[in-house]
Chains A and B, each alone.
Chain A
Amino acid sequence: MTGSKHGWTDRQVDQIIGNLLRIGVTASALVVLTGGVAFLIFHPGATENLRVFSGEPAELRNVPAIIKGSLALHSVQIIQVGLLLLIITPVARVIFSVAVFALQRDRTYVVVTLIVLSLLLYSILGGRV
């Protein structure tokens, strides 16, 4: 598949997707780093028992609580926001692909991509499996 009469060529789409992924990963790494440095400055000696699984508390598990905590500048939640950014980077790519296939009037792939997107959103927005 080299091109299409409608919208962008596949090659241009590749380039845009590449940039999209790079921006997402860079932004997320910077946020995680900021939160991590802040945590280590304020709690360098903190010990946590990671050998035993206890599950993260609610404020580190659901999206609104993570964002709320990071706005209050809690270092641990800032890290979590960075991780959330990373998790949604591939989702942004899929959303972008829906638009591209729609512009190319490729109905089959619009449907295919929407299925992938809904599975992703189901997972991230907290669907129970």
Chain B
Amino acid sequence: MSSLEFCLWTGLGSVAAGLLGSLTGLGGGVVIVPLLTLVMGVDLHYAIGASLVSVIATSSGAAAAYVKEGFSNIRIGMFLEMATTMGALFGAGLVAVVPATAVAVIFGLVLIYSAWVSKDSGSTASDSSPDPLAARLGMDGSYPGIEGPVTYNVHAIPTGFSLMFVAGTLSGLLGIGSGAVKVLAMDRAMHVPFKVSTTTSNFMIGVTAAASAGVYLHRGYIDPLVSMPVMLGVLFGSVVGARILMNTRTKSLRQIFRLILLVLGMEMLYNAARGSF
């Protein structure tokens, strides 16, 4: 395949991934690695490097819109970024020692998990009793609601912190944003309201991915010719997606995307079992 053909097909696939990712609010980064490895036949390491780059692009692009809505909590984000960046460095270090087949298996499982966890879940009941550690760290906050600002209290910081380390490790190992794990940590464990946890999580994704991207760059995992169409494609797709459907999360589209995640996850496992990585 010539470089022009490669860029064209990879670019088109990436636009679709970015579009779907932003329309469903699930992020397109997670489908990039299966797309590159299973469809385009790119080596797993280059695929992960390119995916990481696209994750930084979409996270930073979306954060620009999110932060202006005043939902994200910079203190929670920054505090947990200590855990995610440490995890990211650890994960990026693991890539050198963990065999590609094992990485592919973990990837497949994470895809299937993401498909499972992203089904519309009701918001967890908010706990209004203050947590002394959260109060000391100034994490409690408020977000704009329909009837004025809604205040919330943050809980279980040690649990959230540990889960964030795991999220960071997965991000560094697989080149994904691990938004699903991040939201899980904040939403379920720390009782951060859903709107705040999704936006804060998105906010953290760029920093986490940048921490592993540095290591990837020095290791020679970031190939310009693979990363270029992926980054531009995903970015373009997600910007268009955000424009055409601001806040309208069509349910059927989410179902389709979940199905895609599930199929890709099984495909990754199948190919790992056949030893094609």
Name A's B-contacting residues (CB within 8 A): 1-2, 10-11, 13-15, 17-19, 21-22, 24-25, 28-29, 32-33, 35-36, 39-40, 43-48, 50-53, 55-57, 60-62, 76-77, 79-80, 83-84, 86-91, 93-94, 97, 106, 108-109, 112-113, 115-116, 119-120, 122-126, 129
Contact = CB atoms under 8 A, between A and B. Distances in A.
Interface of B: 1-4, 6-7, 40-46, 53, 56-57, 59-61, 63-68, 70, 72-75, 78-79, 81-82, 85-86, 88-90, 92-93, 137-138, 141-142, 149, 206-207, 209-215, 217-229, 231-232, 235
Given A2-B142, A29-B235, A90-B56, A51 B67 contact: no
Given A21-B63, A86-B56, A87-B56, A124 B232 contact: no
B7 A86 contact: no
Given A24-B60, A61-B218, A86-B56, 15 more contacts: A2-B142, A18-B66, A21-B206, A22-B64, A29-B235, A43-B3, A45-B3, A79-B228, A83-B53, A90-B56, A90-B59, A94-B81, A113-B78, A123-B212, A123-B215
Contacts of B212: 123
A80 B138 contact: no
Given A1-B138, A50-B41, A122-B89, A36 B228 contact: yes
B179 to A, nearest CB: 15
Given A17-B67, A28-B57, A129-B92, A50 B42 contact: yes
A108 to B, nearest CB: 7
Please list the 10 inter-chain residue pairs (A to B) with the smallest Cβ-Cβ separation, ordered nearest first: A123-B214, A55-B220, A124-B214, A56-B220, A129-B93, A79-B224, A22-B64, A14-B67, A90-B206, A53-B43
Contacts of B86: 119
A129 B53 contact: no
Contacts of A86: 53, 56-57, 60, 231
B58 to A, nearest CB: 9
A119 B4 contact: no
8 contacts: A2-B149, A17-B67, A48-B3, A61-B219, A87-B210, A93-B206, A119-B82, A125-B214
Nearest to B42: A50
Interface of chain B, main secondary structure: helix
Contact of A39 (B40, B44, B225): B225
A21 B213 CA distance: 17
B154 to A, nearest CB: 11
Contacts of B142: 2
A80 B6 CA distance: 18
Contact of B232 (A29, A48, A109): A29
A103 to B, nearest CB: 13
A14 B85 contact: no
Contacts of A76: 224-225
A124 B141 CA distance: 33
A108 B234 CA distance: 37
B224 A83 contact: yes
A41 B136 CA distance: 58
A46 B2 CA distance: 6
